[in-house]
Structure 1
């Protein structure tokens, strides 16, 4: 279900502030976890964070206790070598990445200098090229 066209988006992009230390990232994670707990309704699925990259493209991120899911859109595919360098992962065949949860801090530090903004999202179908809705 999509929001009517005249309804303002529920979540708006937030300008990114470069994160340089693991402590910076841990604070960012805690703030976003709290925002998700406060703002996401119990029936909503596919929630996470969309990183809009300054040079183009979006990376959708969802975390779980034991894994990180990333959907990297085609326009952001250029960032794959950085994800590999930051996390030690192998490049997947498609745009869907599944990473160990303990790589989140390294991933965010690696991406930090490339991010223009972040937006909370709901309704993203991770791994199926679904479109997230920032409503």
Structure 2
């Protein structure tokens, strides 16, 4: 492990990383695993909240914030500027459009979602303080 892998400098979550188009299921599952481990590392130290996840900035405009819950659900907060992506989310996952901005998907649909979004994502970043409108326990 390199020194950077252990660094907790407090600025990591603000760094936007360019999206590299993933080629197949293996690439997507590897990306999901890497992001999960990275989030767990960033949240280590007893900090338990529901405002963490991944932010996707879309090349054509808008953002999507994704949170996966311990119960196996994927929550997506699709900003107003990204509402144009709703038909793709429905087509990729089979989900119903929500009444508001927050989509609830099964974790099993995550790979299909990322396949659908794959060519449309410009950048990603870790978020640790996003309001997914989840009731705190």
TM-score (norm 1): 0.84
Q: Which residue of 2 aligns with 1:98?
A: 104
Pairwise CA distance, 1:44 = 4.8
Q: Which has the higher helix share?
A: 2
Stretches of 4+ aligned residues off by more than 3 angstroms: none
Structure 1 unaligned segments of length 5 or more: list them. 1-7, 129-135
2: CA distance, partners of 1:126 / 1:59 = 11
Shift of 1:10: 3.6
**Secondary structure, aligned partner of 2:113:** helix
- 1:123: Cα distance to partner? 1.2
Superposed, 1:55-134 pairs within 5 Å as 55-64=60-69, 65-127=71-133
SS at match of 1:77: helix
Distance 1:34 1:99 in 2: 21
The reply on whether 1:43 has 2:44 as its aligned counterpart is no
In the aligned structure 1, how far is the partner of 2:23 from the partner of 2:96? 24
Deviation per residue, 1:13-71 (Å, 9 max, x gap): 01100113111100000110111111124325210000000010000001124210000
> How many residues align structurally?
121
TM-score by length of structure 2 reads: 0.83
The 5 A counterparts of 1:2-17 are: 9-11=11-13, 12-17=15-20
Determine the C-alpha separation between the residues in 2 that align with 1:17 and 1:111: 12
In the alignment, what sits opposite 1:22?
Answer: 25
